[in-house]
Amino acid sequence: MKIVAHSDHAGVELRLEMIEQARELGHHVDDLGPALGEKVDYPYAGAVVGHKVASGEYDLGILVCGTGVGISLAANKVAGARAVVCSEPYTARLSRQHNASNIVAVGERVVGPGEARMIVEAFLSTEPAGGRHAQRVEMLKALDDPSIDLEQLRQMGPACAG
């Protein structure tokens, strides 16, 4: 899989750890930085990865900031990006299975290196489940259009199908 990774200045060390784990698992990872000591704002880093993943240039993305929250919010502003904040592997696995998440965000001030490695492994080794979850992912995609009619959205869901 082709993966892109980025962080702000608060997430450099953990980003490097996560990249190493992804590469050990056999994935190609492009590291967009920053280097230790460089300053990068999390909205920029999140937006860059959001665009690169949503455009199809990369299959998946890895983001790291202090908590994972701000950088994921920035990525999720990009239509087609589905970033999830994870502090343990279970959420990483289920976000891929149920939500077809395409970006994982982690907080260096929240998660240690060992846990981050487990999150990467869970995220990268899990595929979207399809089935009823695929219908809900389509609903998420529909939300990229701010003019979506909410009743139309409700009717798209499997809860209304039966």
pLDDT tens, residue by residue, 15-60 = 999 999 999 999 999 999 999 999 999 999 999 999 999 999 999 9
Neighbour-count burial of 14, counting CB atoms closer than 10 A to its CB (0-12 exposed, 13-18 middle, 19+ buried): buried
* CB of 132 closer than 8 Å to CB of 157: no
Residue 156: CB partners within 8 Å, gap ≥ 6?
135, 138, 139, 142
Which pTM value belongs to this model? 0.96
Which residue bears the tokens 């450099």? 12
Q: Mind telling me the catalytic residues?
A: 65, 98
Residue 71 identity (one-letter amino acid): I
| H or E element, residue 84 | strand 83-85
Sequence-separated (6 or more) residues with CB below 8 Å from residue 139: 153, 156, 157
What local confidence, expressed as pLDDT, does residue 162 receive?
52
Structure confidence at residue 160 (pLDDT): 74
Give which of 117, 119, 5 is closest to 62, Cα–Cα: 5
- CB-neighbour burial class of residue 107 (10 A; exposed 0-12, middle 13-18, buried 19+): buried
Low-confidence ranges of the chain (pLDDT < 50): none
